[in-house]
Structure 1
Amino acid sequence: MSLGQRLAQLAVSLQEPQRVASFQRLCGVEAPLGSPAADKDAETEVRGAAGDPRRRGPQSGAERNPSPAKPDCCGAPNGVRNGLAADPGPAGPRRAGSLRRNSLTGEEGEPVIVNNWPLYYLFCFGTELGNELFYIFFFPFWIWNLDPFVGRRLVIIWVLVMYLGQCTKDIIRWPRPASPPVVKLEVFYNSEYSMPSTHAMSGTAIPISLVLLTYGRWQYPLVYGLVLIPCWTSLVCISRVYMGMHSILDVIAGFLYTILILLILYPLVDLIDSFNQTYKHAPLIIIGFHLVLGILSFTLDTWSTSRGDTAEILGSGAGIACGSHAAQQLGLLFDPPLHTLPLAIPPLTVTLLGKAILRVVIGMVCVLIVRDIMKKIAIPLSCKLFSIPCDDIRQARQHMEVELPYRYLTYGMVGFSTTLLIPYIFSFIGIS
């Protein structure tokens, strides 16, 4: 057998949903009796005992996921829609009920039994490191409290890595691991395709970039960074398998894809950031470039949550870049002179901690207000401009003419406020 054949066989093996299900059982996740996943596990065990050859070798594509690909922009997700399990009866404290609900598709999680709660909460935390709630806190925190220089560059890398990952999903179009046998602990991203895992890409890009951008700029032992990278990356990657959202192959591909992107992209980050800060017409180019990327991504496939997420990512990146440009021109943004590097980490005092907490509280309140106002303006305005019925917001948002401007404008203003409006407020009240 040639090396190529062996690699192909390994890839097929790593894509098997049964491997995901086995890992979930190892971590204490079970489907309640009577649910489709539990019935599938029992059927598989019976076949294995009878010497069924499918028990011992990789399954065919149809056996891996018998569900069809998503049929249209308003239909079911991509063939791995969760079926609600039958009533499992009392499961005591081990039962975790229907988990996160997808407000855009109406899909709900299936009841599951969790036997290892520490692992459950650990992997829930790991998967949140790739969700909107984390991003909307993490990047502003760096810009407001730690180092705007690092924060801006982190956003540049994150935007490009996530954009390439989301577009690659819609080009390859591989479905999520089949359920059953996999138990879906999360359904919010179930309408998206699976390959590669963008959670794994984000969980790889952020810690590696963080260490590359801060080491030598700040004084700290390199060993801290070398410990942070594998811990962060492995936690995010493993959590996606635990949640039943990705195969092992998906997360490995996401990790390797990110390394390749960073090798090409990272040497250009300084040039991109300098252009954003100093070029006179940079805001026009930034807005236009990110908008074109958004339009291209919306033409790759039918509707899924990945399209809105892509527009949200691009809007955030454009808003932060434009806000940074304006802040630089107005003198609100200062990077320390090169001769002062590396920067010493200041001692933690009550005053320093109090100002940091105050900036976070005031800043996040402003971010949430801006986001809420823009949501209430952008969706009805888009529906009116393009003559799309706005009675059902969920259906309206599945049109590109609504989803793209809504996400792009809303999160563009959030990003702009993060780097211009809110730092101005900090300066005005004396906590800059």
Structure 2
Amino acid sequence: MGGVSYLEYLNDPRLVARFQRYFGVNAPTSSPDKSSSSSSELSNHQTSSQRVLRSSVRKISSGSNSDGTSSKRSLKSADCDFEWDLSSNGQKSATLTTLPSVPSTSTSNVKNRGNANSHARNESSGSSGISSGVDEDEDQSTLSSKFNFDEVVTNKFWYYLFKFGTQLGDEVFYSCWFSFWFWNIDGAVGRRVVMMWGILMYIGQGLKDIIRWPRPMCPPVVRLEKKWEMEYGLPSTHAVVGAAVPFATIIFTSSRYQYPIELGVIGAVLWCTIVCMSRLYLGMHSVLDILAGLSLVITMFVPAIPLVDWLDSLILQNEFGGLGLFLMGVFLCFCTPGGDRWSPARSDTFVILGSCVGLIAGQWLNFQLSIIRGPPLDPPYQILWPSYSMLGLSLLRLIIGLCIIVASRAIMKSTLYTFFYKLLKITKRNDLNNASKPEIFAELSSKYLTYVFIGLHVTFVAPSVFRLMGIQRPTFHTEI
């Protein structure tokens, strides 16, 4: 019981609120009656969280409550909208909307609203991020207040630093990061890091839909970000990716290149720290969520590193490796937790799997076509520090490559969506409220295949264009 009490402490939203206050995020002023209402909501949230935590500790493997029913939690109990706009006097202002804990009888309604809102965000932004909105139901009380940006965020340095930090775990950043790495640094390391990223994120996203743990209650937490707020909170996949990518990069480069490992470790620690702290600062995760994500990385790194090396060699050198990789991705998609309902984490998982399959399949094609053949010398190698001309070519490759990716994404997304909706004879809707199986299948299949094609463009099509233009990286063909 002592262990469970400690977990309850780490999951306490007031711990996150204290962290926010320390770094200059103040709670908006509210009237006494609202403060009383907020305290009551927090008490209800804590009681519910303790109940779910104890149930999760006992029955995490079965994914069910003590009464045998599915352990579905209402995400809206921890929901909070925080939107910036310009008020009439030209100052930045914000809207904070919080909902109290929702009775179990309304859980399905809340979940459906969350599904609809998450899909609306997907359609508008084209990413796997999620937005939330609040329906004006008579049986739900809604607390809204307008307040000034400067009243809430009193230290702009920390605000912009942690906003940058959270972008280090965002799909937009990794789209650019992995592309830059394959085009300008080392494809062999890139393949292994992508595999590690895919394995850990698949497990982390799946655990979110199995555990179904809500994000920190708002208030007392001030939610400074809307994206992903409709996902469940534990484990923090930002913490997973913030630890997995930099440390995997250090591990796989240390066996190929001669450089001061200490500097790499310091950089990886700083990277991971700023990502994890940013999630607390923005009010998106509890300390327990962060520690769970880091624990997942630590636990999986030891078996995953040799597995990744073995898989890379197996896929690359087998003539059917690309097909097997694609089918394995499809199989893992069907095994993704989430059932027949729309899940933001499930949608992200399809994007991650599609990206991994596409990136590695492109390298497999390069090997099968003898475009990459292996190095003339065994590692480790000296690092070739770039000259001004090399930096210029790197920038040129990045610009041209990103243009190719943006164009391919736009074409493939619209084409595949249209194909699946016509094939299944369903009408496309802007929300997935009470979506049928064919609708969910069409949405997720389109996402998976779209990102498979994007990955292929990153590692196969774009390098082919670079080669035709005479701007290919000289060591590209040696990286096995």
Question: Match for residue 80 of structure 1?
Answer: 78
SS in 2 for 1:60: helix
Q: What amino acid does structure 2 have at the position aligned with 1:107?
A: S
* CA deviations over 1:279-310 (Å, ceiling 9, x no partner): 11111211111111111215447322211110
CA contact (8 A) 1:205 1:258 kept: yes
Alignment of 1:87-102 (within 5 A): 95=93
TM-superposed CA distance for 1:230, in Å, is 1.5
Paired with 1:401 and 1:35, the residues of 2 have a C-alpha distance of 47
- Give per-residue Cα distances to partners, 1:62-112, cap 9 Å, x unaligned: 6899xxxxxx9xx9845323256999989996856789x961465269865
Tell me how far apart the structure 1 counterparts of residues 363 and 85 of structure 2 sit (CA, whole Å): 53
**Shift in Å at residue 39 of structure 1?**
4.2
TM-score, reference length from structure 2 = 0.77
1:26 partner amino acid:
Y
Show the counterpart of 1:273: 312
Counterpart residue number, 2:194? 155
1:315 corresponds to which residue? 354
- 1:194/1:40 Cα in 2 relative to 1: closer, same or farther (>3 Å)? farther
Task: State the Cα distance separating 1:218 from its structure 2 match.
Answer: 1.2
Which residue is equivalent to 1:389? 427
CA contact (8 A) 1:76 1:191 kept: no
Q: Deviations over 1:324-377 (max 9, x none)?
A: 1111112223442443x2222223312101110010000011011111111111
5+ long unaligned stretches in structure 2: 53-69, 98-116, 123-129, 135-143, 473-480
For residues 240 and 36 of structure 2, the distance between their equivalents in structure 1, rounded to whole angstroms, comes to 31
Aligned partner of 2:452 in structure 1 is 412
2:258 is the alignment partner of 1:192:
no
C-alpha distance 63-7 of structure 1, shift in aligned 2 (>3 A):
closer
| Residues 19-418 of structure 1 aligned to structure 2 (within 5 Å) | 19-34=15-30, 39-40=34-35, 44=39, 59-61=46-48, 77-82=75-80, 95=93, 103-104=121-122, 107=132, 113-297=152-336, 299-300=338-339, 302-339=341-378, 341-392=379-430, 399-418=439-458
Aligned-residue RMSD, C-alpha: 3.3
Conserved 8 A contact 1:308-1:404: yes
Moved more, 192-201 or 327-336: 327-336
Answer with 416-425 or 84-93: which moved more: 84-93
Asked if 1 retains the 8 angstrom alpha-carbon contact of 2:131 and 2:226, the reply is: no
Q: Distance in 2 between matches of 1:41 and 1:372?
A: 49
Corresponding residue pairs, total? 407
1:38-68 Cα deviation digits (max 9, x unpaired): 9449965xx9xxxxxx99xx94226899xxx
Q: Distance in 1 between matches of 2:9 and 2:458?
A: 45
Contact 1:64–1:178 under 8 Å retained in 2? no
CA contact (8 A) 2:365 2:460 kept: yes
Residue 31 (structure 1) shift: 3.5
Equivalence for 1:69? none
- Conserved 8 A contact 1:283-1:322: yes
Contact residue 324 and residue 419 of structure 1 kept, 8 A: yes
Residues 84 and 207 of structure 1, relative CA distance in 2, 3 Å threshold:
closer
**1:206 and 1:86 mapped to 2: Cα distance?**
31
Distance (Å, rounded) in 1 between the aligned partners of 2:429 and 2:80? 27
Residues 173 and 193 in structure 1, CA contact (< 8 A), matched pair in contact too: yes
